[in-house]
Amino acid sequence: MLHIPFLDLKQQYRSIKPEIDHAIQSVIDECAFVGGRFVDAFESAFAAACQTKHCVGVANGTDALFLTFKALGIGPGDEVIVPANSFIASSESVSLTGARVVFADIDPRTYNIDPEQVEAQLTPATRAILAVHLYGQPVDMDPILEIARRRGLFVVEDAAQAHGAVYKGRMIGSLADAACFSFYPGKNLGAYGDGGAVVTSNDDLAARIRVLANHGRIDRYNHSTEGVNSRLDGIQAAVLNVKLAHLGEWTVRRRYHAHRYSTLLGSNNVVVPFEPNHLSAVYHLYVVRVASDGRDEFRALLQESGIATGIHYPIALPNLAAYRYLQYSTGDFPQATRASQEVVSLPIYPELTDAEVDYVCSVVYRFLSRDSVTASVGGGHSA
């Protein structure tokens, strides 16, 4: 029996250990812990990778979102439309500004925000739309951008799971007013601690975010506004700069494994990720769907077979206790609610082998072959 973790960061570290160790030691030797050349180098490289003019490193992905909304002037009395299927950072960053979160349901094929549902949620108070590229799958941005153009709205990309993804030939991060990234260790481009960044080609917006992230400081002990302390540290920047050079090859491997999964599983009527021809997903997660009454048994069989799995996410955002005050019912977001009850994430990371992917698929086949659960996986869209 093979043992396949959900993610193997130790294996990744071993593959680039000399580069990482040298980068960290260099920061320590120079005591360049806050700001400095390592942060500058990463910001420059990441902006170029995202095809934007500016990158502002911050402490984490949630701060990247909050600071962006704050710098856009969003606050009390405003509404921001957020997909009903995401991690809570997407929505809580709106609430932190004092604005109101308004959820929109998702496209069941991609799990991303549905532009038609966005239209249905617009009010005179709407100021922005948050496009979350969930699981590394780019949102269909053209309809979102068209809605924003007609209504004079801001669009922010939450690209925390989409480092290096491409939409119609353009890099994710370059499509909207700004894009926000997380560098949490498990991300496709992950630090060795928390980290985040905002990328934008808007000079004024970049400058405002940078000031807000550093206590509102415009000069030593001179502050133009009240801000927060949210800075990317030197060690994380150095680690990220090393990893950024490998991101392209890692993405190729993720896509290769995803294609192998989809070919093997899709032919057996498993609902595998749907990837339209006009984009290139980066498969931060590889998500299949299992009928809700069979999901626990499905995961248990994989666990017994040495395969770790995950659920992203088990409760749709509007159904969380945190948003009870919005007085939504579970029937208000049927697609997001159903997805939360059916999705299962299989292991996917660059260092996986063909044999490991094949083994995962063989265990899925074993689940499918049981008479009592033959119909528990499948019945939807496949790649």
Residue 315, H or E segment: none
Q: Domain ends where: 190, 223, 241? A: 241
Range 214-223 average pLDDT: 92
The CB-side HSE value for 94 (13 A sphere, CA atoms) comes to 26
Is the pLDDT at 136 greater than 70? The verdict is: yes
* CA-closest candidate to residue 282, choices 160, 381, 166, 383: 166
Q: For residue 377, is pLDDT > 70?
A: no
As given in the structure block, the two tokens for residue 6 are 């959900």
pLDDT value at position 383? 39
140-199 residue pLDDT tens: 999 999 999 999 999 999 999 999 999 999 999 999 999 999 999 999 999 999 999 999
- Has residue 98 got a pLDDT over 80? yes
Under the banding of pLDDT at 50, 70 and 90, the label for residue 112 is very high
Give the pLDDT confidence of 318-330 residue by residue, as tens digits.
999 999 999 999 8
Check if the beta carbon of residue 350 is closer than 8 Å to that of residue 78. no
18 and 129 share one domain: yes
Specify the CATH number for the domain of residue 368: 3.90.1150.10
More confident residue, 372 or 129: 129
**Separation of alpha carbons 154 and 127, rounded Å:** 6
Q: Report the percentage of the chain scoring pLDDT > 90.
A: 93
**Mean pLDDT to the nearest integer, 228-252:** 98
Q: Is residue 380 part of a domain?
A: no
**What integer is the mean pLDDT of 298-323?**
98
Task: Mark out the alpha helices in the chain (DSSP H runs).
Answer: 9-15, 17-30, 37-49, 61-71, 89-95, 115-121, 141-151, 203-213, 234-266, 295-304, 334-342, 354-369
Asked if 217 and 342 sit in the same domain, the reply is no
How many whole angstroms separate alpha carbon 55 and alpha carbon 218?
A: 18
| pLDDT recorded at residue 370 | 79
Tokens 């942060």 — which residue? Answer: 39
CATH number at residue 164: 3.40.640.10
On the CB side of 30, CA atoms within 13 Å amount to 16
Q: Which domain holds residue 199?
A: 9-241
Residue 313 and residue 187 share a domain: no
> Rg of the Cα trace of the chain?
21
Q: In terms of pTM, does the model score above 0.85?
A: yes
From residue 292, alpha-carbon distances to 94, 274, 342 in Å are 31, 20, 5
Q: Is 238 helix (H, G, I), strand (E, B) or coil?
A: helix
How many Å separate Cα 82 from the centre of its chain?
14
In order, the DSSP letters of 326-367 are GT--GGGSHHHHHHHHHEEEEP--TT--HHHHHHHHHHHHHH
> Do 198 and 263 fall within a single domain?
no
**Predicted pLDDT of residue 381:** 43
Do 287 and 135 contact (CB within 8 A), yes or no?
yes
Average pLDDT over every residue of 209-236: 95
Closest CA to 323 of 74, 66, 90, 73: 90
Element (H, E) at 200: strand 196-200
Q: Which of 222, 241, 260 is the last residue of a domain?
A: 241
